[in-house]
Amino acid sequence: MKKFTVITLLAVLVFSGYLIQNSKVNKIKIIYQDEFVIVDEQLELISLGYENHPLETQYRIHVDYVYKRDQVFDLYIDIEKELMYFIDGRGKAYTFKETSKREILSMDVFNTMYPRSKGPSVTFMVGDEAVAIEPRELNWNYRKLNEAYENVTLSGAHQTPGIRLPYEMDLDIYFDEQPQEILVTNEAGYAEILDMEALKVQKTEEEILYTIKGMWHGEEFFGEVAYEVYLSMDMPVVITHEDERIRPGDFVTLEIHNLEADETLTFHQDLVNKIEVHRLEDRAFAIVPISYWTQPGTYDFEVESDHLGLPFVFELEVEAREFGVQYLTIDEEVAEETRNDEAYEEFDRYMEPARQVSSETPYFSDVFLQPVEGRISTEFGVYRYVNGSLTSYRHSGIDIAISQGTPILAGNTGRVTLSRSLILTGNTIVMDHGLGIFSVYYHLDQLMVEEGDKVLRGEMIGTVGSTGFSTGPHLHWMITHYTTNLDPFLFLEKPVF
Ligand SMILES: [Zn+2]
């Protein structure tokens, strides 16, 4: 509730042609949003003639005439033009004597009518985007029509806004009333008097609290206004990895730094078909599977971003790796039964969809475990001769020989995408672990999970058998990135992300 201001004026009654008949006023009340001020004593009204263009108004005036009944009118005010009048029922406008008028218009109830009452406003421009900011602190003085200064103070409790600037872009600061001085400081110890309106923001992704203080020393108004804002810069993407050596069959996890939520990368490289960027909380990374078919050498990467900044360039050095050769003799009858067109067609029909879609959120967080202990009968990636002739494929996983019925454990937490008997690989399980990582189990005796099942790391999923194209009880165990076969042993030590 604003306090009622009562001012007393000496009414000088002078007869003049401008005075309307019966214009003597006992008392007026000025009403503004349910509040009112009383201007007491006899006031002199001056006729302005007919006014046809009333201003917008939020004020009403209650006039208590001496010889007429009370009346309420709209009250029109324009502080800059020192205008204040009301219009009576016949369309005639009336105002008050100059000195009275200035005193009345200097009353608190009219403060909001002063153009400078709110203090200056600032707009930060980031490229074409405007960000308006409320002052954190304001100590502001403006002059009223009676020459007295009104003081306005404010200590904002609003949330401090944050602005992330595109790389190497300045923050443009626009005041609606240009201050005589702009002082910029930040919590990292930076301080500068800004002579231009462009602020060079520190090049860091980290949010730094800046205080921007404007100072005005005018006659009409003077004061200080401080704004606070967290500023940071969208730094260009940097890509790192921790692998000292990369061999065919390995995977490389690329750590992507400074990637913004709305930033898209394009990878130019010849090493793999496609690179998916994964985002987990504050992290971004990509898994690069190095097929066992990869030729050793240097692979160039150029990573382009749709944000500002030059492409990030790096290379991956793939070392040579010796893969063994295995000579396998298998019963001709088994070979014919399990390796034929029908078997391959069936294999593709079920295996392809089982590894096509992977959860974007990983089901796992730990390294993998070996699903069964036993003798390693065939290593990963070896070239194979079957019954004397070289096959066109390589050994896609690791064979672990152990007696029939030995429990097989899930190598990690995931979801079963295939669990069925196939001619070629016998009883087969495929699990999706997310991020494109799958584990595959062949030749099982018993299948103990169903498609769609969520299975925990170390949970029993089946037993060792010799179903499908197999020479004896063993588990053929694979870990793949979609359909790229990777060395399962690496997954026992090296975290994927
Ligand atoms: Zn095998």
What is the DSSP code string of 153-201?
Answer: EEE--SPPPEEEEPTTPPEEEEESS--SEEEEEETTS-EEE-SSSEE--
The distance from CA 269 to its chain's CA centroid, rounded to whole angstroms, is 28
Which SS3 state, helix, strand or coil, does residue 78 take? strand
Nearest to 384 by CA among 329, 326, 335: 326
Centre of ligand 1 to C-alpha 400, Å, is: 8
Q: Of 73, 92, 113, which closes a domain? A: 113
148: pLDDT strictly greater than 60 = yes
Q: Identify whether residues 435 and 453 lie together within a single domain.
A: yes
Centre of ligand 1 to C-alpha 469, Å, is: 9
Centre of ligand 1 to C-alpha 294, Å, is: 21
Which tokens hold the place of 66?
Answer: 């001496």
Centre of ligand 1 to C-alpha 319, Å, is: 25
Asked, for residue 13, whether it belongs to a domain, the answer is no
Q: Give the pLDDT of residue 59.
A: 82
Q: What is the average pLDDT score of the chain?
A: 88
Asked, for residue 6, whether it belongs to a domain, the answer is no
Q: Identify whether residues 329 and 270 lie together within a single domain.
A: no
Centre of ligand 1 to C-alpha 274, Å, is: 27
What whole-number distance in Å separates Cα of residue 405 and Cα of residue 89? 106
Asked, for residue 435, whether it belongs to a domain, the answer is yes
Write down the residue that tokens 């949010």 correspond to: 207
Centre of ligand 1 to C-alpha 475, Å, is: 7
Residue 471 CB partners (closer than 8 Å, separation 6+):
328, 330, 331, 334
Asked, for residue 10, whether it belongs to a domain, the answer is no
Which tokens hold the place of 440?
Answer: 């595959």
Q: How far apart are the first and last CA of the chain?
A: 62
Give percent of the chain with pLDDT exceeding 70: 93
Q: Identify whether residues 217 and 312 lie together within a single domain.
A: no
Give percent of the chain with pLDDT exceeding 90: 63
pLDDT digit string (tens) for 278-324? 999 889 999 999 999 999 999 999 999 999 999 999 999 999 999 99
Centre of ligand 1 to C-alpha 153, Å, is: 79
Q: Give the pLDDT of residue 101.
A: 84
6: pLDDT strictly greater than 80 = no
**Is residue 282 a contact partner of residue 319, using CB atoms and an 8 Å limit?**
no
Q: E strand or H helix at 419, and its extent?
A: strand 414-422
- Name the residue with higher pLDDT: 182 or 387: 182
Asked, for residue 101, whether it belongs to a domain, the answer is yes
Residue 194 CB partners (closer than 8 Å, separation 6+):
173, 182, 183, 184, 212
433: pLDDT strictly greater than 80 = yes
Which SS3 state, helix, strand or coil, does residue 490 take? helix
Which CATH number belongs to the domain containing residue 270 in this structure? 2.60.40.10
Q: Give the pLDDT of residue 337.
A: 79
Q: What is the number of domains present in the chain?
A: 4
Q: Give the pLDDT of residue 243.
A: 94
160: pLDDT strictly greater than 60 = yes
Centre of ligand 1 to C-alpha 399, Å, is: 5
Centre of ligand 1 to C-alpha 377, Å, is: 8
Centre of ligand 1 to C-alpha 494, Å, is: 23
Q: Identify whether residues 108 and 131 lie together within a single domain.
A: no
Q: Of 318, 345, 366, which closes a domain? A: 318
Centre of ligand 1 to C-alpha 189, Å, is: 63
Q: Identify whether residues 479 and 411 lie together within a single domain.
A: yes
Q: Identify whether residues 103 and 139 lie together within a single domain.
A: no
Domain that holds residue 478: 325-493
What whole-number distance in Å separates Cα of residue 304 and Cα of residue 380? 35
Asked, for residue 483, whether it belongs to a domain, the answer is yes
Centre of ligand 1 to C-alpha 487, Å, is: 13
Q: Give the pLDDT of residue 159.
A: 85
Centre of ligand 1 to C-alpha 268, Å, is: 35
Residue 217 CB partners (closer than 8 Å, separation 6+):
180
Centre of ligand 1 to C-alpha 397, Å, is: 6
Asked, for residue 17, whether it belongs to a domain, the answer is no
Centre of ligand 1 to C-alpha 455, Å, is: 23
Centre of ligand 1 to C-alpha 443, Å, is: 9
Centre of ligand 1 to C-alpha 83, Å, is: 96
Q: Where residue 73 falls among pLDDT bands split at 50, 70, 90?
A: confident
Q: Identify whether residues 313 and 329 lie together within a single domain.
A: no
Centre of ligand 1 to C-alpha 476, Å, is: 4
Q: Identify whether residues 489 and 372 lie together within a single domain.
A: yes
Centre of ligand 1 to C-alpha 346, Å, is: 18
Q: Give the pLDDT of residue 27.
A: 76
Centre of ligand 1 to C-alpha 352, Å, is: 18
Centre of ligand 1 to C-alpha 90, Å, is: 105
Q: Identify whether residues 160 and 284 lie together within a single domain.
A: no
Q: Identify whether residues 245 and 271 lie together within a single domain.
A: yes
3: pLDDT strictly greater than 70 = no
Q: Identify whether residues 308 and 395 lie together within a single domain.
A: no
Q: Identify whether residues 306 and 338 lie together within a single domain.
A: no
What whole-number distance in Å separates Cα of residue 354 and Cα of residue 460? 20
Which CATH number belongs to the domain containing residue 452 in this structure? 2.70.70.10
Asked, for residue 404, whether it belongs to a domain, the answer is yes
Q: Of 93, 113, 133, which closes a domain? A: 113
* Rounded mean pLDDT, 175-199: 87
Q: Give the pLDDT of residue 204.
A: 94
